[in-house]
Chains A and B, each alone.
Chain A
Amino acid sequence: MYFSIDSFFGRTVRGAVYLSLLLFCVPIAAAQDPPTEGDYYRIETLPIPEDIVLEVGGMAQMPDGRLAVSSRRGDVWLIQNPTMEGGRPPYYHRFARGLHEPLGLAYRDGALYAAQRGELTRMRDEDGDGRADVYESVYSWPLAGNYHEYSYGPLFRDDGSMLVTLNLAWIGHGASLAKWRGWMLQITQDGEMTPVATGMRSPAGFGHGPDGSVFYAENQGDWIGSGYITHVEIGDFLGNPEGLRWTNERDVPARLSGLAYDDVPDNGEPLFEAIEEVPSLKRPTVWFPHTLLGISTSDILVDSTGGAFGPFEGQLLVGDQGHSRINRVALEKVNGVYQGVVIPFREGFQSGVLRLTWGVDGSLFVGQTSRGWSSTGRDPYGIQRVVWTGETPFEVATVEARPDGFELGFTLPVDSATASDPSSYDVTSFIYKYHHSYGSPPIQQENLNVRAVSVAEDGLSARLAVEGLRKSFIHEIKMEGVRSREDLPLLHDVGYYTLNEIPGGPPMDSAAGAAPSARPTIERERRAEIEARPKRLTEMPASWTDGPDVTVTIGTEPGLRYDVGSFDVRAGSRVRLDFENDDDMMHNLVVVMPRTADAIAQEAIALGLDGHEMNYVPESDDVLFHTRLLEPNASEPIYFVAPVEPGEYTFVCTFPGHARTMRGIMRVVGAGD
């Protein structure tokens, strides 16, 4: 399978392969540890010249193999040899410059197109010097001037028209201060514009589905309980009502005409319930549970490599900026409605994943930027590519809805003993609130009974009979117990299926037997327990008649940081700590035992679905005190008695992805110091 050193010296062998041999290719069979993502999908990093600040905004594959990349600094770079053939470095050539934060890029008929903040621009090189010399304004839209008015695209349609999406401004909440913010627009080559749909909040990513339909990715925020992707059709209202301000304009699709902000219920019930009052409101196609599968969805790219990228042809890859990862979506259409499952795919990218593009060789280019949002990947920016090693991972390839459960498709045959055991699975359903507040905890959570499992003879599928499916809910399907015939665990053993529609048809033969009945909802009990927790006292104890001995105020700074690096308290003193979240994201503040912050942060991530409700504070003796999870522009005081043991205690934000930068030291000094 692998090239030998002899063959490398004996004839011309691609250096990239040689390089990967040295760095990555440990034969899987010989490894003792369970396989990792890298065994199947290798990440290669493109070197970037030191003097280029390549905060990636857009990427486009040119027909000749060059990769075009636009940057926040307004440049368009053409990268020759981006696949690093022959072990040679890529070559960077600047095609254009001076654009206003181009957050998209597309190539068509010899021209490059970019959405700048206020304009869709066509760039051409007419004198043949390799640099754009004609910059045409295809269509321009107004701006209020707010920093959060990002503009994305274009995405070319088959008819040569283009789609762009326009982010809401942020003024303490999302707002459409200028016309068409919060909308997707269709623009012809001649600059004729038609508004397509609204309800968008932060539509940084959009792309084609397997059949040419259009999907966009949304980020958690006001009116958006968690991230999702939604199939966009003309006249859709996609959730955030700020863009409805423009529904009386000319050319607005009939389904949206006249719809107003006040028509939208704001009662915290799930989005699907609001559809009864607002028929043009659209359910998300696939929810991406916040912090479990990323925190900020980005680009959407369908696997159209014909198998060059592995076994997921036709599925969607969806990037995540904050968590520096890519998730995978398998779609199906039930009762004419798209829905499907999202499953982790690959993590560990160097910066925030914003853009995805196929290279000509079927490898995946991943354009990245962090730019003040402090992504999990620590680099400020970068470009990497993902290469399939040729090995097939043991994965759930597909999840499809059935009248009474789900059918799972696997990439490799399963071990029928583990796969047919209902206790190998765990299914929980939940949904999010639909309201003007920022984000939502999971609500109406129920653990469902997997009644029976039937495994196909070839071992490539399993039918789950699940009691209590709920239409429009998210169904978490955990498959921890399933093994392959080679006794491998699933590379990713969880998926989140959004059950917009339940198909008709015959139920599964139930002869396989019954399992214990559903476990009770624990939501309410848990909440009461959390509220009683003394680690979070928000009222001053009555016994503190002289008030606190010391009061400390900690705020936030952009870039995931507290505005206080350290503070001192005396051992055993009475402390009031005020945490003020003036960022535009959610944060908490957790005081932990010395040198335990990293472990606690990991435990917080592992809380999974329960994390939000538990304020991302794990049950641990190492957690001393904490605030609740604070939405933007909120604050909370907590009262506690400082530890008697002097030392350097850490305070840290345990919201997933924040702990690396967002922490400081509470120095407890002895009473005599």
Chain B
Amino acid sequence: MLSETEALAAQVKLLLDQTWSPERLALAAPVIHRVRRNLAALPALGDVHPAVAYNMGKDAAQS
């Protein structure tokens, strides 16, 4: 099994190609780990429809 950092490094290599550097990963890794862990801890919401990015003002106004 890959460690959390190894898994992230694999993803970064796929994503950033030649521009990837260990320094960039080192800066981003703590934040992505924290956000990912916290998101994973949130309950799965199944059929709850995601908010729609372009519709927030309309959605907010339609109470």
- Are chains A and B native binding partners rather than an unrelated pairing? no
Binding site for A on B (CB under 8 A): none
